[in-house]
Each structure stands twice: as C-alpha cells, then as structure tokens.
C-alpha cells in the first residue's frame, strides 16, 4: 500500500488566529499553506474576506487564494480537485502541506475524502426558488431535511437553493459518503473563549472598515459584480451591498454585520465539533501546538532516513 501524505489541518472559527498560526508552523517545519476559505478563492474580495497580505505570509507560499473570478461560483468539487493536486505537489517537493481555513465543507472534502452527490442543476427550480426570500428558503429546507438545516448558513440563498435542489432530487440532502482518506491528517483546532472571539470579531471589523471595505465593495460592483452575486457571497459583501443600495445606514450595517459574523462563528463550531479527531487548543498555546505537530511529523518507522525527506509520509 502506498504511503499517505501527512497533512496538517489548521481550523477554527473566524477571527481565531488560524492564518498566523499556519505561517508560524510552516516556518517551523518547512511547510506551505493551502487555503480552505470559500471566499478567498475569489479575486478582488480582499478586505472583506481578510486575505492574508504578502508581508504577513513571511515568505511562506500560500495556495488556492485568488484562483477564480467572483462572478461565477467555484464549486467545492472543483476546489477539492485543485487542493488535492496542490497538496501532492507540495509533498513531492519535500515540503509539509498545511491546510488552513474556516470553511468546514472545504476541509472535510479534502481531508476526509468526501464523495459528493451527483445532482445536476435544475434551472426551472432555481428560477422559482430565486423569487423567495432566504427565510422562506430556510423553512423549506427545514421541512425537507432538518439535519442539513442545522449546519447551513441560513441567510445564504445560493447554498439554500442548492440544498433544496439536492433534497428534491434525492429525497433529502444525503449524509455525504467518504472514500478512504488520501491523507494522514493531524487536525489542530483553535478555539478562543467566547468573550475573546467576540472582541476579535469587533476589532477586526473596525479595522476592515478603516481599510476601505465599503470602497472595495463599491469598486467590485462597478467592475460588474452584481448585487445579487454579492448577496450570495454572504456576510460582509451581503451587508455592504445593502448599505450601498441605501437599504441600511452605515452604523446599522456595521452592527448587523457584526452580529451575523458572530452567528457564523457559532455555526462553524457546530460543524467542527462533529469531527472527534480535532485536537483543540487556545490561541496562546502555540508551544503545545508545535510540540503536537512535531511529534506527528516524526512518528515514522524509518528514523535513519533524513528528516526533511521522511517527515511527509507514513
């Protein structure tokens, strides 16, 4: 049986410090970072998604950022194909692949080997559902599949419509099947306490506003990104679009957005808590995380092989 690539997975709720930790581990163990963020894949969505800057990367290569235009959705299946190819390339070059992000579906797709249901788009159904409000779509999904409704972003019409589409075609949104995982993964979860996380979310939102998040959204729309698509992209871009259309005053927009980000962080934790393989740490436990990572990478039966060559497979 071929050896499996060792994969470090860094996950946690938004504003928990995942990106800086991934860079720290990459510098410590000779790694490269593969982003697992469903919106950072899009070009131009920079301030609103909090994309890591070149100086923050500290020379560590980052992959799967800015790989698609925001006008068209990048499917999770397409993301998985690209991620698998990237991880294999990183390992082939003798580096440690580090999958880092907060999109649980992306992480599970790659690290757990999820097999996705083959359901083709239904244009007529989508057109009909597009006329409904997100809360109406959410109620429909709750009736069709209460289990899926518990983990979905209930204000995201695109995801709600897709879930309803699958449920209508298959009878429900099925438990996603898993093939044999391609990787030997170490899951590191970052979990700040509730007060710290809320403070982080507040401070980060203020910083993004000062950096020109509203101007970024305005520029994206002027470049052809529709209001509808911005609604689909969720969170920051949904509320920024509503402010730019005169639906929300700036202060109200900021307040509602902060509340929605906090709710999103809770949903992320609900998703992650299903995975019992995750080893949870506090943000200030970097030393313990490095120890855990080093131990994982060195657990091999052939210690005579040079370290940089043998770290990556088991």
Nearest to 163 by CA among 147, 177, 185, 179: 147
Query: Is the pLDDT at 303 greater than 60, yes or no?
Result: no
Question: Dihedrals φ, ψ of 47, to 5°?
Answer: -70, -45
**Secondary structure tally for the chain: helices H, strands E:** 15, 8
Nearest to 68 by CA among 99, 101, 32, 44: 44
> pLDDT tens digits, residue range 245-263?
999 999 999 999 999 999 9
User: Please, what is the average pLDDT of the chain?
Assistant: 90
CATH number of 117-175: 1.10.20
Check residues 4 and 177 and name the one with the higher pLDDT.
4
Instruction: Report the run of H or E that residue 115 belongs to, with start and end.
Output: strand 114-115
**CB-based contact 313:6 (threshold 8 Å):** yes
Instruction: Report the run of H or E that residue 279 belongs to, with start and end.
Output: strand 279-281
Instruction: List every span in the chain annotated with CATH 3.40.50.300.
Output: 5-116+176-310
For residues 259-282, give the mean pLDDT. 95
Instruction: List every span in the chain annotated with CATH 1.10.20.
Output: 117-175
Query: Is the pLDDT at 24 greater than 70, yes or no?
Result: yes
> pLDDT tens digits, residue range 82-121?
999 999 999 999 999 999 999 998 999 999 988 666 677 8
Among the listed ranges 74-83, 93-102, 176-185, 281-290, which one has the minimum average pLDDT value? 176-185
Domain spanning 5-116+176-310: CATH superfamily: P-loop containing nucleotide triphosphate hydrolases (3.40.50.300)
pLDDT band at 226 (very low <50, low <70, confident <90, very high): very high
What are 280's strand-pairing partners?
Answer: 189
Q: What is the pLDDT of residue 311?
A: 53
Nearest to 188 by CA among 114, 125, 99: 99
What whole-number distance in Å separates Cα of residue 156 and Cα of residue 311? Answer: 41
**CB-based contact 137:129 (threshold 8 Å):** yes
**Dihedral over Cα of 271, 35, 279, 304: its sign:** positive
Q: Which tokens is 313 given?
A: 């497979």
Note the pTM of the prediction, 2 decimals: 0.84
What whole-number distance in Å separates Cα of residue 176 and Cα of residue 115? Answer: 6
């Amino acid at each position: 049986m071929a050896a499996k690539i060792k994969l470090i997975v860094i996950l946690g709720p938004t504003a928990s410090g995942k990106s800086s930790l991934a860079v720290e581990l990459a510098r410590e163990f000779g790694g490269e970072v593969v982003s697992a963020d469903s919106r950072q894949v899009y070009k131009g969505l920079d301030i609103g998604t909090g994309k890591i800057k070149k100086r923050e990367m500290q020379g560590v290569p980052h992959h799967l950022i800015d790989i698609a235009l925001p006008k068209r959705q990048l499917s999770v299946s397409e993301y998985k194909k690209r991620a698998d190819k990237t991880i294999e390339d990183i390992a082939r070059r003798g580096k440690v692949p580090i999958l880092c992000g907060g999109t649980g579906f992306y992480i599970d797709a790659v690290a757990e080997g999820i097999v996705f249901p083959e359901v083709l788009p239904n244009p007529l159904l989508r057109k009909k559902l597009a006329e409904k409000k997100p809360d109406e779509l959410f109620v429909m999904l709750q009736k069709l599949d209460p289990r899926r409704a518990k983990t979905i972003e209930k204000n995201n019409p695109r995801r709600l419509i897709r879930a309803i589409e699958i449920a209508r075609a298959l009878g429900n949104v099925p438990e996603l099947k898993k093939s044999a995982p391609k990787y030997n993964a170490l899951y590191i979860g970052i979990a700040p306490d509730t007060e710290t996380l809320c403070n982080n979310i507040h401070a980060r939102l203020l910083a993004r506003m000062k950096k020109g998040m509203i101007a970024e959204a305005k520029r994206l729309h002027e470049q052809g990104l529709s209001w509808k698509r911005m609604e689909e992209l969720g969170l920051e871009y949904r509320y920024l679009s509503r402010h730019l259309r005169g639906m929300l005053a700036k202060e109200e927009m900021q307040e509602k957005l902060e509340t929605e980000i906090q709710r999103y962080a809770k949903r992320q934790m609900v998703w992650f808590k299903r995975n019992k393989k995750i080893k949870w740490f506090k943000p200030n436990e970097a030393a313990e995380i490095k120890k855990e990572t080093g131990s994982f990478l060195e657990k091999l039966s052939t210690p005579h092989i040079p370290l940089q060559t043998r770290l990556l497979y088991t």
